[in-house]
Amino acid sequence: MDADKNEIFTEDQKDILQEIMNIAFGNATADLSEIIDIYVILSVPDIKTISAENLDSYINNLIDLKKNTKIIEQKFFGEYNGSGLLVFPDINDDEISTILDHSDDINSNDSSEQVPVNEILIEIGNILIGACIGKITSLLNTYVTYSPPDIFPSDTSNKVCLSYHTDKDKTGLVMKTTFTFNEKNIEGFLLLLTNDESFDWLKKALGKFMESYL
């Protein structure tokens, strides 16, 4: 974890945050497979603080936008405030429809219509972003509410611009994890962005987390 500005979090706080993320993503992986039959491997998250003005270029360096790039965004609100971006760098419609089991869903009898790819992506976003955020928030003893997920219109632009990060003085906390769906050869990454409005709360919550274990 490195900051590109003056240090916002102490070394201890960074360590706690990293460990909480390890635990949260590990728990999320386990529950997704054990409870919901979704077999996905989430890597150990990489945590960075990035100033708002560098955030777009950071994201565009990560994502090489192609015709088949799919990005789903879901915002969350509460003491912990921010957004999750689920990125599939290169995925076609057939692959998307294999991620979740849709074998007995009622809509499939209407074979003349195409698979509603965007709707499936939204459901995947609901599940993956919700699982990670849900585990993080429960470790930090809070909860959030969610906005409906949005699909980034990949054919209208060749760059990702996050409209809500307009205040250049602000700093964001970025957590990046790569995910792979077992046996499906589908991979991508998940970015969790936190605005600095949540930092004061986050520092307190990290302190409380440590108190309960140390």
Report if residue 36 touches another protein, rule: CB under 8 A.
yes
CA gap 79, 201 in Å, rounded: 7
| Region near another protein per CB under 8 A, out of 22-30, 47-55, 184-192, 193-201 | 22-30
Report if residue 157 touches another protein, rule: CB under 8 A.
no
Binding another protein (rule: CB under 8 A), the pick from 133, 173, 175, 193 is: 133
Burial readout 144-182 (b: 16 or more C-beta within 10 A, e: otherwise): bebeebbebebeeeeebebeebeeeeebbbbbbbebebe
Report if residue 62 touches another protein, rule: CB under 8 A.
no
Binding another protein (rule: CB under 8 A), the pick from 1, 65, 122, 186 is: 122
Q: Which is nearer to another protein, 62 or 115 (CB)?
A: 115
| Region near another protein per CB under 8 A, out of 52-60, 126-134, 156-164, 192-200 | 126-134
CA gap 55, 174 in Å, rounded: 9
CA gap 167, 84 in Å, rounded: 19
Contact 178, 35 (CB under 8 A): no
Indicate the SS3 state at residue 185.
Answer: coil
Q: Which is nearer to another protein, 36 or 161 (CB)?
A: 36
Report if residue 112 touches another protein, rule: CB under 8 A.
yes
Report if residue 184 touches another protein, rule: CB under 8 A.
no
CB of 202 to another protein, least distance (A): 15
CA gap 47, 66 in Å, rounded: 26
CA gap 181, 5 in Å, rounded: 35
Report if residue 119 touches another protein, rule: CB under 8 A.
yes
Report if residue 186 touches another protein, rule: CB under 8 A.
no
Contact 123, 100 (CB under 8 A): yes
Indicate the SS3 state at residue 67.
Answer: coil
* Contacts with another protein, residue ranges (CB under 8 A): 12, 15-16, 18-19, 22-31, 33-37, 44, 92, 94, 100-107, 110, 112, 116, 119-120, 122-123, 126-127, 129-131, 133-135, 137-139, 141-143, 145-146, 148-149, 210, 213-214
